[in-house]
Amino acid sequence: MTGQSGLTSRRGFMRAGLAAGVALPAIATMARAQGGPDPLITEVQDWARYLGDGVDASPYGMPIRFESDVIRRNVSWLTADTISSINFTPIHQLDGTITPAGCAFERHHSGAIELAKPDYRLMINGLVERELIFTYEDLERFPRSQGVYFCECAANSGMEWAGAQLNGSQFTHGMIHNMEYVGVPLKTLLAEAGVKLEGKWIFVEGADASSNGRSIPIEKAVDDVMVAFKANGEALRKEHGYPARLVVPGWEGNLWVKWLRRIEVTAGPVESREETSKYTDTLANGISRKWTWVMDAKSVVTAPSPQVGIKHGPGPMVITGLAWSGRGAITRVDVSTDGGKNWSAARLAQPGAPMAMTRFYLDHVWNGEEMLLQSRAVDDTGYVQPTKTALREIRGENSIYHNNAIQTWWIKKDGSAENVEVS
Amino acid sequence: MLKSRKAAALLIVLAASSAAAQTQVPQTDAEPAAVQSFGLGRPALPEEVAAWDKDVSPDGTGLPEGFGDVATGEERYLEHCAACHGDFAEGLDNWPALSGGEGTLDRADPEKTVGSYWPYLSTVWDYVHHSMPFGNAQILTADETYAITAYLLYSNALVEDDFVLSKDNFTEIEMPNAAGFVEDDRADVEYPIFTAEPCMENCKESVEITMNASVLDVTPGDDSAAPDAATEDGTAVAPVN
């Protein structure tokens, strides 16, 4: 074809430019700054002339390479190793409420194990009429339920108790994900085994070495707990408990036992390591709360935030964030731009749903001055998200878990943002 | 929490004999009916239950026959545990300390160990037996677990060096912090305070910044590399381990 060589070399130049970073936008910006036409419009671009990928190029797709920074991140100094550790969901770059499974946070105690469906067994034993073994195929034959729920690590925001420490909502609030689950109600499985009258608790454990055993009162077990095998439409990811995990709406993430292998009906709590040594909350006087299962109402502004500065200068902008409550639905989120002196009700993208994430927006006109951004969630019990000062007055600074305090971002005149505390 | 009436109704349903008819639990469209039995699954064999049901409760329920003394425990401990937890259970590097920290729970930087914090000895036995050594779990016999548990008691100065721990005397051991826990009391202590219509306008006279994260500078960069001065100033908190 005529002109092919010239076009090919131009294409090579464009590729090189893109690979080098922002050559093309810079050229375009320069042209526009001089009042000239935008070459991205006036010149035919490669993607408007040549062909894109075929439908066989990626049977299971990944995000486009320009989004390669939207990833889980690890904070290496938090834990002794990366096996019994945590990573963080990039909530600062997400919108809406559903967390893509591929970047939804992980927390393991003995690593993410590989457990195939044919090797999967689920045991129900203890104070039941019939001790039973289910295969994975058995689980799929029970009537199913579906629900969208947040899973928040009890330690989410735990590094912030003693002060402002990590610069970014991913790190301060990213031990959380929100997915649409499909599975079997736990009460259906318990009915199959027949719970005896003296069965007041269940003890659940995973197939991994850590087991992550936890005790749950039977009232919660037969209310809304689910044995889930699908999340966001597909099988659970390996790191999220494939092929089956417990979903415990509104309750701390540690109870959401992954790679679930056994449900024991018991007369009393087992008081396992994960509910004595860990997931107990020490108060200032040295006494510790135990069985702090529910995650209270909480919110955070995800953008602008330290990882997402304002780059467009003064004028119209979107302030957005997430709110959630383990005790019901979010009914309102207030936003302050002046550190809590004055508040205005944000717009909820959808009405709040019980024990699920809610997206809020405040459409704002920024005057270019400093802001102290805060958000404050209210749930349908009337509970209002407290300040960190108010929580510290009751608990002190050593409870590690259950920090649902109001977060402040200091937005500076240059549009950059920092994690701060205010009076 | 749940309305107890609803829970009681469900419990009666769940406890019903296999001859019972279909349940009368009110259900939403989103909720499948909880019928009595689908006939799915198979009976668990005693050997299978024994292989997986090994948890131990504070009253000793679940403890197998067996015993172990401090000296044997020290041998096993040095063989399997000391590389991470230190010869005297004091902890190495960032690995957990299993002894020490007595009297620190109400201080600014509490040190929580088996001796200073854990309420029940049953948890020590159960967790070690099921999940330790880290990376090679479920290799310890019942007797080895009794012995290592005895050594941990000794390391925390709770027994003498000739102590023998067994199924028979297990529940006689009272841990120092057994009374150090209260059930979740947020409903009484916090919810009334935080359930009030909040201020919307002119809520404060002034606002001052009192803490800055950039001062600490422990946030990973784009390369996710470890920060240079991680916890040198003692203000960084490691909430998970």
* pLDDT (tens digit per residue) in B153-200: 999 999 999 999 999 999 999 999 999 999 999 999 999 999 999 999
| Residue of B6, B10, B131 lying closest to A110 (CB–CB) | B131
Flag whether pLDDT at B29 surpasses 90: no
Mutation for testing the A interface, residue in B117, B134, B206, B219 having most A CBs under 10 Å? B219
Residues A171 and A313 in one domain: no
In a domain, A204, yes or no: yes
Q: A403: helix, coil or strand? A: coil
Amino acid identity at A317: M
Residue A70: closest C-alpha in chain B? B222
In a domain, A49, yes or no: no
Confidence at residue A31, expressed as pLDDT on a 0 to 100 scale:
63
Distance, CA of A191 to CA of A291 (rounded, Å): 25
Chain A nearest-CA distance from B171, in A, is 14
DSSP class of A308? B
Chain B nearest-CA distance from A322, in A, is 19
Determine contact, residues A179/A94, Cβ cutoff 8 Å: no
| Residue of B16, B134, B180 lying closest to A287 (CB–CB) | B180
In a domain, A64, yes or no: no
In a domain, A312, yes or no: yes
Asked if A423's CB is within 8 angstroms of B207's CB, the reply is yes
Report residue A422's pLDDT band, with 50, 70 and 90 as the boundaries.
Answer: very high
Through-space distance between the first and last CA atoms of chain B, rounded to whole angstroms: 29
Distance, CA of A360 to CA of B131 (rounded, Å): 42
Confidence at residue A34, expressed as pLDDT on a 0 to 100 scale:
79
Mean pLDDT of chain B: 84
Structural domains in chain A (count): 2
Distance, CA of A163 to CA of B174 (rounded, Å): 36
Residues A213 and A319 in one domain: no
Asked if B119's CB is within 8 angstroms of A209's CB, the reply is no
Structure tokens at B159: 């027994």
Residue A356 is part of which domain span? Answer: 298-420
What residues of A are in contact with residue B138 (Cβ under 8 Å)? 209
Distance, CA of B233 to CA of B215 (rounded, Å): 11
Residues A155 and A227 in one domain: yes
Confidence at residue B11, expressed as pLDDT on a 0 to 100 scale:
45
Flag whether pLDDT at B147 surpasses 70: yes
Residues A189 and A78 in one domain: yes
A 10 A CB-CB count for A207 gives 21
**Which DSSP string do the residues of B168-192 spell out, in sequence order?**
TTGGG---TTTT-EEE--HHHHTHH
Determine the length of chain B. Answer: 241
Asked if B134's CB is within 8 angstroms of A110's CB, the reply is yes
Confidence at residue A10, expressed as pLDDT on a 0 to 100 scale:
45
Report residue B20's pLDDT band, with 50, 70 and 90 as the boundaries.
Answer: very low
Asked if A339's CB is within 8 angstroms of B44's CB, the reply is no
Determine contact, residues A39/A28, Cβ cutoff 8 Å: yes
In a domain, A185, yes or no: yes
Determine contact, residues A321/A300, Cβ cutoff 8 Å: yes
Flag whether pLDDT at A56 surpasses 70: yes
Domain CATH for A369: 2.60.40.650
Asked if A213's CB is within 8 angstroms of B134's CB, the reply is no
Determine contact, residues B103/B113, Cβ cutoff 8 Å: no
Residues A407 and A315 in one domain: yes
Chain A nearest-CA distance from B88, in A, is 19
Chain B nearest-CA distance from A59, in A, is 29
Distance, CA of B174 to CA of A11 (rounded, Å): 76
Amino acid identity at B117: Y
Distance, CA of A95 to CA of A302 (rounded, Å): 9
Residues A268 and A365 in one domain: no
Size of interface A-B (CB pairs under 8 A): 340
Mean pLDDT of chain A: 94
Chain A nearest-CA distance from B77, in A, is 19
Residues A122 and A245 in one domain: yes
Residues A80 and A207 in one domain: yes
Strand partners, A262: A123, A205
Report residue A27's pLDDT band, with 50, 70 and 90 as the boundaries.
Answer: low
Distance, CA of B100 to CA of B112 (rounded, Å): 8
Among candidates A296, A321, A294, which has minimal Cα distance to A390?
A296
Domain boundary among A262, A290, A318: A290
A 10 A CB-CB count for B72 gives 18
Asked if A284's CB is within 8 angstroms of B48's CB, the reply is no
Flag whether pLDDT at B15 surpasses 80: no
> Residue B133, preceding bond cis, omega within 30 degrees?
yes
Structure tokens at A158: 């735990």
Among candidates A64, A77, A74, which has minimal Cα distance to A106?
A74
Residues A90 and A230 in one domain: yes
Determine the length of chain A. Answer: 423
In a domain, A45, yes or no: no
* pLDDT (tens digit per residue) in A227-262: 999 999 999 999 999 999 999 999 999 999 999 999
Confidence at residue A22, expressed as pLDDT on a 0 to 100 scale:
43
Confidence at residue A28, expressed as pLDDT on a 0 to 100 scale:
61
Asked if A286's CB is within 8 angstroms of B130's CB, the reply is no
Asked if A123's CB is within 8 angstroms of B52's CB, the reply is yes
Q: Is the pTM here over 0.85, yes or no?
A: yes
Determine contact, residues B166/B66, Cβ cutoff 8 Å: yes
Report residue B219's pLDDT band, with 50, 70 and 90 as the boundaries.
Answer: confident
Domain boundary among A290, A318, A347: A290
Confidence at residue B215, expressed as pLDDT on a 0 to 100 scale:
81
What residues of A are in contact with residue B180 (Cβ under 8 Å)? 286-288
Distance, CA of A148 to CA of A356 (rounded, Å): 6
Confidence at residue B217, expressed as pLDDT on a 0 to 100 scale:
79
Percent of all residues in chain A with a pLDDT value above 90, rounded to a whole number? 90
Distance, CA of A9 to CA of B4 (rounded, Å): 75
Flag whether pLDDT at A283 surpasses 60: yes
Asked if B211's CB is within 8 angstroms of A166's CB, the reply is no
In a domain, A387, yes or no: yes
Report residue A32's pLDDT band, with 50, 70 and 90 as the boundaries.
Answer: low
Amino acid identity at A215: S
Residues A361 and A248 in one domain: no
Distance, CA of A12 to CA of A9 (rounded, Å): 5
Domains of chain B: 31-222 (1.10.760.10)
Strand partners, A347: A361
* pLDDT (tens digit per residue) in A132-157: 999 999 999 999 999 999 999 999 99
Question: Could you give the C-alpha distances from A234 to A179, A207, A224, A238, in angstroms and in order?
Answer: 11, 21, 21, 12
Residues A314 and A254 in one domain: no
Residues A284 and A243 in one domain: yes
Determine contact, residues A70/A332, Cβ cutoff 8 Å: no
In a domain, A304, yes or no: yes
What residues of B are in contact with residue A339 (Cβ under 8 Å)? 204, 207
Domain boundary among A268, A290, A312: A290
* pLDDT (tens digit per residue) in A183-224: 999 999 999 999 999 999 999 999 999 999 999 999 999 999
What residues of B are in contact with residue A383 (Cβ under 8 Å)? 191, 194-195
Structure tokens at A38: 């935008």
Chain A nearest-CA distance from B16, in A, is 7
Domain CATH for A106: 3.90.420.10
Confidence at residue A26, expressed as pLDDT on a 0 to 100 scale:
61
Mutation for testing the A interface, residue in B27, B40, B53 having most A CBs under 10 Å? B40
